[in-house]
Amino acid sequence: MSGNVAPDTAALFAIAFEWGLYGISVWMFFGTTKELLFGISQNHKMMFIACLFFLFSTSHAIIDLIRIKIGFIDKRENPGGPALYFSDVKEVLYFIRSLFYLAQTLLADAVVVYRCHTVWRPISRWVVFVPSTFWICLSGVLYNLGLATQHSGTGPGVEIFVFAKWVNAVFVLSLHSSRCKCAVGYTGC
Protein backbone atom coordinates (compact mmCIF):
# COMPACT_ATOMS: atom_id res chain seq x y z
CA MET A 1 0.00 0.00 0.00
CA SER A 2 1.32 3.41 -0.93
CA GLY A 3 1.50 6.36 1.46
CA ASN A 4 -0.70 8.57 -0.75
CA VAL A 5 -3.87 10.14 0.62
CA ALA A 6 -6.98 9.67 -1.50
CA PRO A 7 -8.30 12.93 -3.03
CA ASP A 8 -11.70 12.58 -1.35
CA THR A 9 -10.09 12.07 2.07
CA ALA A 10 -7.84 15.08 1.48
CA ALA A 11 -10.90 17.16 0.52
CA LEU A 12 -12.64 16.31 3.81
CA PHE A 13 -9.63 17.23 5.92
CA ALA A 14 -9.04 20.38 3.86
CA ILE A 15 -12.61 21.64 4.30
CA ALA A 16 -12.40 21.14 8.07
CA PHE A 17 -9.15 23.10 8.34
CA GLU A 18 -10.31 25.72 5.86
CA TRP A 19 -13.49 26.53 7.75
CA GLY A 20 -11.60 26.72 11.02
CA LEU A 21 -9.23 29.25 9.50
CA TYR A 22 -12.14 31.02 7.81
CA GLY A 23 -13.71 31.56 11.25
CA ILE A 24 -10.49 33.22 12.42
CA SER A 25 -10.49 35.28 9.22
CA VAL A 26 -14.03 36.55 9.88
CA TRP A 27 -13.10 37.52 13.43
CA MET A 28 -10.02 39.37 12.18
CA PHE A 29 -12.02 41.11 9.44
CA PHE A 30 -14.47 42.57 11.93
CA GLY A 31 -11.64 43.71 14.21
CA THR A 32 -9.85 45.30 11.26
CA THR A 33 -13.06 46.95 10.08
CA LYS A 34 -13.67 48.47 13.49
CA GLU A 35 -10.12 49.85 13.65
CA LEU A 36 -10.02 51.14 10.06
CA LEU A 37 -13.40 52.87 10.23
CA PHE A 38 -13.58 54.06 13.81
CA GLY A 39 -9.96 54.04 15.02
CA ILE A 40 -7.51 56.87 15.46
CA SER A 41 -6.24 56.85 11.88
CA GLN A 42 -9.10 56.05 9.55
CA ASN A 43 -7.92 54.50 6.29
CA HIS A 44 -10.59 53.96 3.66
CA LYS A 45 -8.15 52.53 1.07
CA MET A 46 -7.12 49.76 3.44
CA MET A 47 -10.77 49.21 4.34
CA PHE A 48 -11.47 48.55 0.67
CA ILE A 49 -8.55 46.09 0.56
CA ALA A 50 -9.84 44.36 3.72
CA CYS A 51 -13.26 43.98 2.07
CA LEU A 52 -11.59 42.43 -0.99
CA PHE A 53 -9.75 39.95 1.24
CA PHE A 54 -13.01 39.06 2.97
CA LEU A 55 -14.79 38.65 -0.39
CA PHE A 56 -12.03 36.38 -1.74
CA SER A 57 -11.84 34.21 1.38
CA THR A 58 -15.64 33.91 1.62
CA SER A 59 -15.91 32.99 -2.06
CA HIS A 60 -13.14 30.41 -1.72
CA ALA A 61 -14.80 28.80 1.31
CA ILE A 62 -18.26 28.70 -0.29
CA ILE A 63 -16.92 27.20 -3.51
CA ASP A 64 -15.21 24.49 -1.47
CA LEU A 65 -18.51 23.70 0.27
CA ILE A 66 -20.20 23.43 -3.12
CA ARG A 67 -17.40 21.13 -4.35
CA ILE A 68 -17.79 18.91 -1.27
CA LYS A 69 -21.54 18.65 -1.93
CA ILE A 70 -21.03 17.83 -5.61
CA GLY A 71 -18.23 15.34 -4.93
CA PHE A 72 -19.82 13.39 -2.10
CA ILE A 73 -23.52 13.64 -2.96
CA ASP A 74 -23.95 14.23 -6.68
CA LYS A 75 -20.96 12.22 -7.94
CA ARG A 76 -20.95 9.35 -5.44
CA GLU A 77 -22.61 6.91 -7.87
CA ASN A 78 -20.48 7.87 -10.88
CA PRO A 79 -17.62 5.62 -12.01
CA GLY A 80 -14.59 6.64 -9.95
CA GLY A 81 -16.85 8.43 -7.45
CA PRO A 82 -15.66 11.31 -5.29
CA ALA A 83 -11.98 10.38 -5.66
CA LEU A 84 -12.13 10.96 -9.42
CA TYR A 85 -14.06 14.22 -9.00
CA PHE A 86 -11.60 15.69 -6.49
CA SER A 87 -8.56 14.69 -8.57
CA ASP A 88 -9.86 16.49 -11.67
CA VAL A 89 -8.00 19.80 -11.93
CA LYS A 90 -9.89 20.76 -15.10
CA GLU A 91 -13.18 20.96 -13.23
CA VAL A 92 -14.61 24.50 -13.45
CA LEU A 93 -15.18 25.06 -9.73
CA TYR A 94 -11.62 23.93 -8.97
CA PHE A 95 -10.32 26.50 -11.42
CA ILE A 96 -12.54 29.31 -10.03
CA ARG A 97 -11.53 28.44 -6.46
CA SER A 98 -7.89 28.56 -7.49
CA LEU A 99 -8.41 31.96 -9.09
CA PHE A 100 -9.76 33.35 -5.81
CA TYR A 101 -6.77 31.94 -3.94
CA LEU A 102 -4.32 33.37 -6.46
CA ALA A 103 -6.01 36.78 -6.40
CA GLN A 104 -5.82 36.78 -2.62
CA THR A 105 -2.12 35.87 -2.70
CA LEU A 106 -1.30 38.62 -5.20
CA LEU A 107 -3.33 41.17 -3.25
CA ALA A 108 -1.56 40.27 0.00
CA ASP A 109 1.86 40.60 -1.61
CA ALA A 110 0.85 43.91 -3.20
CA VAL A 111 -0.20 45.25 0.21
CA VAL A 112 3.20 44.35 1.64
CA VAL A 113 4.97 46.05 -1.31
CA TYR A 114 2.82 49.13 -0.64
CA ARG A 115 3.87 49.00 3.02
CA CYS A 116 7.54 48.86 2.04
CA HIS A 117 7.02 51.80 -0.30
CA THR A 118 5.27 53.80 2.41
CA VAL A 119 7.99 53.14 4.98
CA TRP A 120 10.99 53.71 2.69
CA ARG A 121 9.63 56.49 0.44
CA PRO A 122 11.42 59.32 2.26
CA ILE A 123 14.78 57.49 2.08
CA SER A 124 14.83 55.57 -1.19
CA ARG A 125 12.28 54.50 -3.76
CA TRP A 126 14.61 51.83 -5.13
CA VAL A 127 14.24 49.71 -2.01
CA VAL A 128 10.97 48.25 -3.32
CA PHE A 129 12.56 47.15 -6.60
CA VAL A 130 13.43 43.61 -5.44
CA PRO A 131 10.08 42.92 -3.71
CA SER A 132 8.23 44.28 -6.74
CA THR A 133 10.29 42.05 -9.03
CA PHE A 134 9.35 39.00 -6.93
CA TRP A 135 5.70 40.09 -7.13
CA ILE A 136 5.85 40.40 -10.93
CA CYS A 137 7.58 36.99 -11.21
CA LEU A 138 4.91 35.47 -8.98
CA SER A 139 2.22 36.94 -11.25
CA GLY A 140 3.91 35.35 -14.27
CA VAL A 141 4.21 31.96 -12.59
CA LEU A 142 0.55 32.08 -11.54
CA TYR A 143 -0.44 32.90 -15.11
CA ASN A 144 1.60 29.97 -16.45
CA LEU A 145 0.11 27.66 -13.82
CA GLY A 146 -3.35 28.63 -15.03
CA LEU A 147 -2.36 27.97 -18.64
CA ALA A 148 -0.84 24.60 -17.74
CA THR A 149 -4.01 23.63 -15.89
CA GLN A 150 -6.26 24.53 -18.80
CA HIS A 151 -4.07 22.79 -21.38
CA SER A 152 -3.51 19.60 -19.40
CA GLY A 153 -4.75 16.17 -20.44
CA THR A 154 -8.29 15.52 -21.52
CA GLY A 155 -11.02 14.60 -19.09
CA PRO A 156 -11.16 13.69 -15.43
CA GLY A 157 -8.37 12.00 -13.57
CA VAL A 158 -5.64 14.51 -14.42
CA GLU A 159 -3.53 14.52 -11.29
CA ILE A 160 -2.65 17.77 -9.57
CA PHE A 161 0.87 16.43 -9.07
CA VAL A 162 1.50 16.96 -12.80
CA PHE A 163 1.72 20.66 -11.95
CA ALA A 164 4.09 20.19 -9.02
CA LYS A 165 6.85 22.31 -10.55
CA TRP A 166 4.48 25.26 -11.03
CA VAL A 167 2.95 24.89 -7.58
CA ASN A 168 6.42 24.68 -6.03
CA ALA A 169 7.47 27.79 -7.97
CA VAL A 170 4.43 29.66 -6.63
CA PHE A 171 5.22 28.70 -3.04
CA VAL A 172 8.94 29.47 -3.36
CA LEU A 173 8.37 32.86 -5.00
CA SER A 174 5.65 33.78 -2.53
CA LEU A 175 7.82 32.77 0.42
CA HIS A 176 10.92 34.63 -0.78
CA SER A 177 8.86 37.61 -1.82
CA SER A 178 7.32 37.84 1.65
CA ARG A 179 10.68 37.34 3.39
CA CYS A 180 12.31 40.04 1.30
CA LYS A 181 9.45 42.51 1.79
CA CYS A 182 9.31 41.88 5.50
CA ALA A 183 13.07 42.33 5.86
CA VAL A 184 12.97 45.57 3.89
CA GLY A 185 9.72 46.88 5.35
CA TYR A 186 10.38 46.25 8.99
CA THR A 187 13.97 47.42 9.09
CA GLY A 188 12.71 50.83 8.09
CA CYS A 189 10.28 51.17 10.99
* Cα dihedral 12, 77, 66, 96 sign: positive
Q: pLDDT tens-digit profile of 109-156?
A: 888 778 777 777 767 667 777 778 877 887 887 777 777 766 665 555
Q: Which residues contact 124 (CB under 8 A, 6 or more apart)?
A: none
What is the DSSP code string of 67-86? HHHIIIIISTTSTTHHHHHH
Q: Calculate helix-pair angle for 7-38, 44-69, nearest 10 degrees.
A: 160
More confident residue, 165 or 172: 172
pTM, 2 dp? 0.76
Instruction: Give the pLDDT confidence score for residue 181 in this predicted structure.
Output: 66
Q: pLDDT tens-digit profile of 11-26?
A: 888 888 989 999 999 9
Q: What is the dihedral of CA 98, 117, 136, 44, to 10 degrees?
A: 30
More confident residue, 50 or 177: 50
